A and B are shown apart, each in its own frame.
Chain A
């Protein structure tokens, strides 16, 4: 199965389940959860279902395109179901069948893994779904986001697309994947990996990034004060990405680390609270 087929099949499947098929959000982020379509929509009482593809950037995971399993940008397919349906596990398993996994012929397990995002003030209880020992999905019942207890509880499914694609095509190098019939993953993404690895590990200007972190934080703070929650959240995301670059660059000491995470978290929590009190509610 081609890479593009994989996410198209999954999006079609979830579209049939009543999900809004949304698009990636155009600010760099470490995980699909940080897309406003998840962060904001899980807050408050309104039911919602959404699925989208999200390219996720994790600067520290870069390997200059030399590691067959690790990349600094990978693709997640994110599904949020609010409230969580009682048969969600079996719907999820159907989605696997939809992409050609014969459940009967594999070892599928739900092993405890409680997702947590300190920067978003969010955590949930759930599992990593293992397919013959390979983690293919993070399955989470959201308990808290932006420091707030969630009710109703949303369920979040995050598919790791590269891994699933490698599994389905019996490949052990991500760069051997086919994106479509004629274009390969290597062709589309390898230069990206090489250049961003160099940038994140060697080139990124540390002082300037620290400066940006402070500026983005100030801007977010100002926007929160004005009740412009959605733009404020963009700057919160930029803080988070800036932090990730600094971290990959090895520029953050252990004690600084905790403080910086705390600062992003404070923004996220304030934004979540304001969102709920009405101002900024879309």
Chain B
């Protein structure tokens, strides 16, 4: 027998940002209840609106399958007398289980044979199990921020006001906080006047809620909004400024979305598009439109939780609100421009960058020093002036009203003000771009000055945190250090910059040394491990395999561009038989040295006079030649060639291992052979630690 389960937790408006997570978790927890209790089901689905968390399961077994349970009684030896008649012990055991002795059987255990009863336990009804488990499933939700609203002290995202819980058409009795479950729900708060609706099953529920102006499927609401946005854009002769995050949010903010298209005073178009779009998005959750040339239109699209019947009235309300917001922005824009960015540098002395890391002015000086260091490393002296100028001004927009109001416009606002104040494009662009890349889909700064300042800023942030021992753990990364490190690596890769991260970190450490409570060595080690982790993640995303990544990062993490080239070479080479065999030999060599207690980097000199076999001589002469050629190839960036050279040693290595016993009785001979292997190992390690490779 199979039946349908429907749960709706009716709430006051749940914050949009929590809705998807809570909804998915609730589904998982209910699914776990069903699985743990062996209740089969066909399909389980989650839905949500701001006022409801919904789980629907179809084809749920109405009872658990029966199961048998073995109850062990007295030892077999005392259960029957000499004539095979049950003893008092056996009869007692049978009586206790309310069966005749004939229903008992014999089981063998490690301790011997016993009398036993195999009991058939009927399954419990699904409804009872659900009634018992649902409260736990809900208390088991991991809620990011919950609240209390009544004396029961029950904690949830927002107050729970009703519970609809049906199984097989019957109410499952559940209580959460002071609310008891029933068979009713409520329609749209305004459009349907919060109408009470009695429900018999899911189809009925969905139908009646549609009639009561509620669409329970957030994906359906999202699609509807998307379609209307596109239609409206077309109608206005422009195209939508895409904003997937905002689209998600507004889909979780309404039960019955409709679209309102409004205008704002074209006078405000004197403000930069970045500012206008941000005001509309951040303050009002409006979408913006551009014309065919890409210029912003004096229009906005608002998603209302309404049916569109009173659109003109709603539209004029939204227009007035936006007008006021844009006036504020225009006020900020004009008053900010009264103080030049140059004059704002001094204001940075009053703003703490971070406790224990000085002021923003201190940070600015550090970014300048680091920028200069990078310019020299890159041998691009013409960048010195613009990069340093951008570094000097890059944080000044943190003193503006505009950034105080819209913190996510930091950098952008500085760049815009710089442009208006007549600062050269290379510098204003660098200021504009220097927080990039923020999200993984972001591009990197456009010009090289921007690239340099962006990297200097990130390195200083990382060095500052690590020198104080602030390292992200688990999901906690309040300073966004993972993003900073990822940004640094991505810039280096995209711009193919040949820079040593370790050297840059060393320079960054100089800047924060006076605040540090960790040594340079400790800070560098933290940085290295952190960067390696980020690179591992990034290269995995790019499709490289774990073992390839480990083999490379083991010997080459400092320069991500170089790391990626080697990865490419290894990935292309790994299937060749020579390479596979070499990887195996490599592991063997590592083990031999490890067992002999030899550190490959200090294994001592090789004395060719002490070789006793032709194989030793052959391998030695080949390694010397290959070692030199590998160094050359790596210098010239011919990574495939370097790997090929490694592979070319295979016959010599094979015949060495076939014919030569490394652990010779004569300690001198033995040491000499170990030194040869150590040399070989060192040669290979110049390219990659191929012992990390998984061979087929």
Contact = CB atoms under 8 A, between A and B. Distances in A.
A176 interface: no
Contacts of B158: 125
B13 interface: yes
A118 B564 CA distance: 49
Nearest to B317: A132
Interface in B297-313: 302, 304-306, 309-310, 313
A224 B27 CA distance: 52
A151 B150 CA distance: 8
A152 B150 contact: yes
A180 interface: no
A269 B327 CA distance: 39
A105 B310 contact: yes
A87 to B, nearest CB: 8
A255 B310 contact: no
B306 A106 contact: yes
Nearest to A86: B161
A104 B190 contact: yes
Interface in B1-39: 12-13, 15-17
Contact of B313 (A89, A90, A106, A152): A106
A84 interface: yes
Interface in B125-154: 145, 147-151, 153
A110 B16 CA distance: 10
Contacts of B314: 105-107, 132
A104 B323 CA distance: 24
Contacts of A124: 147
A89 B159 CA distance: 11
Interface residues of A, number: 40
B535 interface: no
Given A133-B302, A133-B321, A67 B253 contact: no
Contacts of B15: 112
Q: Could you say which interface size class chain B belongs to?
A: 35 or more
A109 interface: yes
A58 to B, nearest CB: 15
A111 B13 CA distance: 7
Nearest to A173: B324
B328 interface: yes
B318 interface: yes
A248 to B, nearest CB: 14
Nearest to A108: B190
Interface string A107-149: 1111110100000000011010001111000000101000000
Nearest to A110: B13
Contacts of A90: 194
Given A90-B194, A104-B191, A132-B321, A254 B313 contact: no
A93 B189 CA distance: 10
B260 interface: yes
A106 B161 contact: no
Contact of A106 (B189, B317, B321): B317
A84 B327 contact: no
Given A90-B194, A103-B190, A107-B302, 5 more contacts: A86-B161, A89-B12, A132-B313, A132-B321, A134-B320
Interface of A: 67-70, 83-84, 86, 89-90, 93, 103-112, 114, 124-125, 127, 131-134, 141, 143, 151-153, 166-167, 170, 172, 253-255
19 contacts: A68-B327, A83-B150, A86-B150, A86-B159, A104-B310, A105-B310, A107-B304, A107-B305, A108-B190, A111-B13, A112-B16, A112-B17, A125-B145, A125-B147, A132-B316, A132-B317, A132-B321, A133-B317, A134-B320
Q: Which 8 A-B residue pairings sit nearest by Cβ, starting from the closest?
A: A132-B317, A112-B15, A107-B304, A125-B147, A110-B13, A105-B310, A133-B318, A133-B321
